Amino acid sequence: MTSITESENNATRDIDKVSTLDALVLINNEDKQVAFAVEKVLPEIATVVDQVASRLENGGRLFYVGTGTSGRLGVLDASELPPTFGVERELVQGVIAGGIDALYKATEASEDDRDAGAAELRTRGLTAKDTVIGIAASGRTPYTIGAVEYARSIGCVTSCITCNPGSPITQSVDYPIVAVVGPEAIAGSTRMKAGTAQKLILNMISTVAMIRLGLVTGNRMTGVKPTNAKLVDRSVRILREETGLEETKATELLSVAGDLSTAIVMARTGASVADAKEALAANGRMIERTVRMLTNAEKDADDN
């Protein structure tokens, strides 16, 4: 039986015969369905987010595993978290069949190796504290299924993001997420609607997990790393909004602190750079928890 992601789409059957604008309209009409498909699985996504956040808070890591477009999307999401939220690069990792070369060129044959995904997770020291999410539009990729089966066998929390209900990977994980986006505008080209759905879901999982960890204040990315001029300006603006400092003092404090989280903690507690960094490290870089710890420590010292 042909899977949904490989089926032909009746609505776009003549896409090769219409004008450029009409072809774009056909594709756009298909894309409009993606957000609604994701909306239907929000409860399943929420469950996975809570599992991920709990594991991360207790010393675990998050691994995305996939091949082709799915693998590239996982690597993309993982790679953007350190500069956005200030977390360590090892906290969320993308694993793609074929390794780094597969990020910019096709290595499709590597996806058929069922043992390779598990082997890669072993080399990264996977433990029962970690979470593994397999990303597979078709839900039947051997590399990805092998990885999540191994992860589940050692006690990891496992999930998958797929677009085919009842596919093999949904039977191999604890928490399947199945966004049924329907046949692609170009049959089997899962870089299109399926890839868009996967990207939306990955954004949700990682962003809300970081929020649950306390790495966002309001809707401000208070862990952002000021690694270029744009991010320095953003960091100064957030520091001012969080503390009420005027621009010159905020700029000076950010320069002394070296990063936004440290600067916020210093401004709110009066701690030194070293004490603020040490306290942040001890509290998983969670600002509110760090501020409470330092404030309580200062209060205890005054009481004594």
Catalytic residue check, 80: yes
Give the CA distances from residue 10 to residues 7, 25, 38, 169, 277, in Å, rounded to whole numbers and listed in that order: 9, 15, 22, 27, 58
Q: Helix 247-257 crosses helix 273-282 at what angle (to 10 degrees)?
A: 70
State the Cα torsion 9-204-92-50 to the nearest 10°.
-120
Whether the Cβ atoms of residue 62 and residue 93 lie closer than 8 Å to each other = yes
Catalytic residue check, 111: yes
Q: 3: closest CA among 201, 196, 194?
A: 194
Evaluate the CA torsion angle 282, 286, 292, 295 in order and state its sign: positive
Task: Exactly one of 30, 111, 120, 242 is catalytic; name it.
Answer: 111
Evaluate the CA torsion angle 285, 291, 292, 297 in order and state its sign: positive
DSSP code, position 66: E
| DSSP string computed for 31-56 | HHHHHHHHHTTHHHHHHHHHHHHHHH
| Alpha-carbon gap, residue 177 to 194, rounded angstroms | 12
| Alpha-carbon gap, residue 207 to 214, rounded angstroms | 11
φ, ψ (nearest 5 deg) of residue 290: -65, -45
Task: Exactly one of 44, 57, 80, 288 is catalytic; name it.
Answer: 80
Give all strands (DSSP E) within 86-234, no chain letters.
92-96, 131-135, 157-162, 175-178
Q: Catalytic residues, which ones?
A: 80, 111
